[in-house]
Amino acid sequence: MTTMSVTATRNRARAKSGVPFGRLLIPFAGAALVIALWELTVRVFAVPIYLVPAPSDVWTALVENRQILIDNLWPTATEAFLGFLLGNGVAILLAVCFVYSDLVYRAFYPVSVALRTIPIIAVAPVFVIMFGNGISSKVLIAALICFFPTLVNMVVGLKSVDPQTIELMKVLSARPWEIFFKARWYAALPFLFSSLEIAATSCVLGAIVAEWIGSEKGLGNLIIQATYDFRTPFLYAAMAVSSALAVAGVLLIALLKRLVVRWK
Amino acid sequence: MTAAPALAGSAVRLADISVEFVRDGKPFTALRGVDLDVADGEFVALLGPSGCGKSTLLRVVSDLLAPATGTAEVLGGPPRQARVARDVGFVFQDSALLPWKKVIDNVRLPATVGPRRSRQMTGLTPEEALALVGLTDAAGAYPSQLSGGMRQRASIARALVTDPRLLLMDEPFGALDEITRDRLNVELLDIWQRSRATVLFVTHSIPEAVFLAQRIVVMAANPGRVHEIVDVPMPYPRDVGLRETPEFNRIVSHLRRALDSQR
Ligand SMILES: Nc1ncnc2c1ncn2[C@@H]1O[C@H](COP(=O)(O)OP(=O)(O)O)[C@@H](O)[C@H]1O
Ligand SMILES: [Mg+2]
């Protein structure tokens, strides 16, 4: 019992204080240093602004164009979010089919893995041709890019349940759906969240790549426009907003994981 | 044996049980012709080398597996009936606690799954069961925060909330260090004496079998079968001092020879 309370107290202490405050500052200090060096290099060597803008130039572009950036952030965010839901949702359902039917698994799992090797950039034009220039082709491309990691992780996760847990449930006369929702599903959750973390960034990537290929709006469209017009500070600003979108997604998933997967 | 007078006398009756698996495309006999009678309230150990079908035998009794031949009767009916009535408790080697549930919720699990009529808990409350195994303070912890011995205690508590008349234990202390194992053996005997449940206890430790059981079923492998049944005529309550007695050591060496002769 003593061991128990000691471990529990230690875990609680770690959970409460987390990382010491000073250590939280280190990554920010590192980023500030990189930005400062960048600013310094650009100024000292008088690099032309259309080649590499200084961070201060990017900041100016960001502030001046904030309305345009925000207007174009929403379409991309919507596509990425819907793609995230669709890709992960279908992957989860398919993984359930794979785990419950050996026939389906053997028939379609190899195909799924083979399809995965096709680079997304090569598939994107095909989708634009099939589904047009609207939101649906972007959502589908974002979905596709989320799909495979989640499918693979979910299959592994659903199968990771301890065989003794299944036997225990059967001794307790648990019905099949109880075995699924009370055992397999929970066993799969840590695996699911690892792939959702990947998907949170890749869905933004998918949406932006899809916008490059054909669209009138979105951050991807801004990036292409800025490149053609040599508006380099604006290009950097669009990049910064895209990466902020992805970071927001990752943080959201990380928060959700902390709330859901409490037992690790 | 022939007349089968009082049904109440037997908790488990196995007659000519065989189990076959398909392994590497070939049929494989895991158990052949097993006969076993376990009296109500008895503590019986199943002892044998790994692979001799001890777990398979428990699976037949707990209705996880249907035998290829023979008949199994558990608490006076088919194994299925005993399982659905929650008269059978199972304790696994690796505790089989659900890592995502707190200890107390793991102990409550039997009340949350299965058909409604199975969920009526007649035994101890989850809190009482935890207190019985000395885990009251750990109720709110997750299994990953417990030691191996505490996890096994929790899994015993979970088995006790259904008030099982038959407790099946598959090498429950096999992964524990010897000191913890000895302590849990004493605690288990205490629980058994109070509940008067029937216990079928799988182990491959000879001293553990002798310390715990009234009768030891020595099994042999390839195919899995009953080799010999040995009585342990020593009274309860037993304590650790028993291990020093000549009687204890006589039975231990007898069993060791019985297991050695199988090779
Ligand atoms: N589901 C199964 N499929 C095929 N073979 C099995 C299966 N379960 C057990 N066996 C085999 O049956 C034999 C007995 O297994 P088991 O009852 O687990 O032995 P023990 O518990 O005595 O170590 C072993 O050789 C094992 O490989
Ligand atoms: Mg076994």
Contact A226, A238 (CB under 8 A): yes
Q: Is the CB of B203 under 6 A from ligand 1?
A: no
A143, two tokens: 């979905």
Q: Is the CB of B21 under 6 A from ligand 1?
A: yes
Q: Near ion ligand 2, which residues have CB within 5 Å? A: B 55
Whether the complex's predicted ipTM is more than 0.95 is answered with no
B62 → chain A, closest CA residue: A171
Query: B135-151: per-residue pLDDT in tens?
Result: 999 999 999 999 999 99
The string of pLDDT tens digits covering residues B92-115 is 999 999 999 999 999 999 999 988
The pLDDT confidence band at residue B117, using thresholds 50, 70 and 90, is confident
Closest CA of chain A from B73, distance in Å: 16
b/e map A219-235, b = 16+ CB within 10 Å: bbbbbbebeeeebbbbb
pLDDT digits (tens, 9 = 90+) for A123-165: 888 888 899 889 999 999 999 999 999 999 999 999 999 999 9
Dist CA B200 CA B217 (whole Å): 10
CB of B225 closer than 8 Å to CB of B34: yes
Contacts of A8 in chain B (CB under 8 A): 138, 141, 145
Please name the amino acid found at residue A144. Answer: L
- Does position B5 have pLDDT exceeding 50, yes or no? no
- For the CA of B51, the nearest ligand: 1
Ligand nearest to the CA of B59: 1
Q: Give percent above pLDDT 90 in chain A.
A: 78
Under the banding of pLDDT at 50, 70 and 90, the label for residue A17 is: low
Residue B248 confidence (pLDDT) above 90: yes
Q: Which domains does chain B have, with CATH numbers?
A: 10-202+224-231 (3.40.50.300)
For residue B120, pLDDT beyond 60: yes
In Å, the largest CA–CA distance within chain A is 76
Tokens of B99: 């890592």
Q: CA–CA separation, B255 vs B247, rounded Å?
A: 12
- pLDDT-derived band at B13 (thresholds 50, 70, 90) equals very high
Neighbours of A193 (CB within 10 A): 19
> Which ligand number lies closest to the CA of residue B170?
2
Contacts of B98 in chain A (CB under 8 A): 165, 182-183, 186
Residue A118: its pLDDT value, please?
A: 84
Give the closest of B64, B84, B144 to A167, CB-based: B64
> Does B31 sit in the ligand 1 pocket, CB within 6 Å?
no
Helix, strand or coil, per DSSP, at residue B79: helix
> B90 and A167: CB-CB below 8 Å?
yes
Smallest CA–CA distance, residue B194 to chain A, in Å, is: 23
- Kindly state if the Cβ of B55 falls inside 6 Å of ligand 1: yes
Tell me if chain B has a CB within 8 Å of the CB of A14: no
Residue A208 is predicted with a pLDDT of 95
A16 CA: distance to closest CA in chain B (Å): 16
What is residue A2's predicted lDDT score, i.e. its pLDDT?
42
How far, in Å, CA of A195 to CA of A92, rounded? 11
Residue spans of alpha helices (H) in chain A = 2-17, 21-44, 55-64, 66-100, 102-116, 120-131, 135-159, 163-171, 176-179, 185-213, 219-228, 232-260
Find where tokens 């990425």 sit. Answer: A80
Average pLDDT over chain A, rounded to an integer: 90
